[in-house]
Amino acid sequence: MDKYGIDMQVISDAGNSPQVLPDELTVDACRAQNDTLAEAVAAHSDRLAGLAALPVNVPDAAAKELERAVKTLGLKGAIISGTVDGQFLDDPKFEPIFAMAAKLDVPLYLHPGVIKDEQKAILYDSKAYSPALATFMGGAAWGWHMEQGVQMVRLIISGLLEKYPNLKLASGHWGEFVPMFMERLSEFLPFSGLDLPHSFEYYYKRNVYVTPSGMFTDPQLKLVLTEMGADHLMYSEDYPYINRKDKVGQFITQADLSDQEREQFAHGTAEKLFKL
């Protein structure tokens, strides 16, 4: 952090999260991991903050763990990695988690997770290229992000953000495709019977905060800035999966932003969202 000019970092486990463990193991594993994370960030509280892992497939226990993580451990919210054993989060069983996040006024970061083998086989396996390429297509190159975009769309059209208007969701990788299609979704979903008092675009712009996740690309920055405004843009790395080194600082200092937008993107949005 010192080497690359990072003053404060919110850290989490978006890789091998204990949320994927069997139900009989995941609650204790998430508690243990959150205890370890809280101890680590407390030792450097002026430089680090943390997001909790949750036993998502045990929703009542997940809600209780989120409350403990925030109130007792001082963590700043939680991270959920992808679908849960093939289940999307719009299933009513998961509502206690979102209700608790809204009650505590802390964000949930919706990160991609590994898709199921059956999905990969249908969508990405091909006789035209190697199994290794299919794995990347179904993962970090495309598939994770498309699935996570679908996750966000489903949550919004389920009415979740109408029921919990102060719920705050964070979405990485420039919003996992969704900002490019906000107007399309707002126009076409009502034809299919979507019955909400506001448009898809309204809920997304009000409740979702978008990060680059180390995808330091100017065209995406311009698109998301135009759609969301700087107060819903939040800077982020993707370390250690991608190590951008000097580009961490260069991208934001050289980006075509006003001074106010740059400050908001660099730290202002995160300070407000995570109460830093």
Q: What is the CATH number of the domain that holds 32?
A: 3.20.20.140
Q: Are 56 and 81 in contact (CB under 8 A)?
A: no
Residues with Cβ within 8 Å of 87's Cβ and at least 6 positions away in sequence, in order, are: 57, 93, 94
Nearest in space to 163 (alpha carbons), one of 88, 204, 104, 102: 102
pLDDT digits (tens, 9 = 90+) for 77-113: 999 999 998 899 999 999 999 999 999 999 999 999 8
Q: What is the mean pLDDT of residues 52-73?
A: 98
CA distances (Å), 27 to each of 55, 67, 69, 252, in order? 5, 14, 13, 38
Does residue 4 sit within a domain?
no
Q: Which domain holds residue 159?
A: 9-273
Does residue 165 sit within a domain?
yes
The Cα 166–Cα 181 span in angstroms is: 23
pLDDT value at position 194?
Answer: 87
Does residue 231 sit within a domain?
yes
CA dihedral sign of residues 101, 266, 252, 181 = positive
Mean pLDDT for all residues in the chain: 96
Does residue 2 sit within a domain?
no
> Domain tally for the chain?
1
pLDDT at 193 over 90: no
Does residue 1 sit within a domain?
no
Does residue 20 sit within a domain?
yes
The Cα 26–Cα 14 span in angstroms is: 15
The Cα 167–Cα 157 span in angstroms is: 15
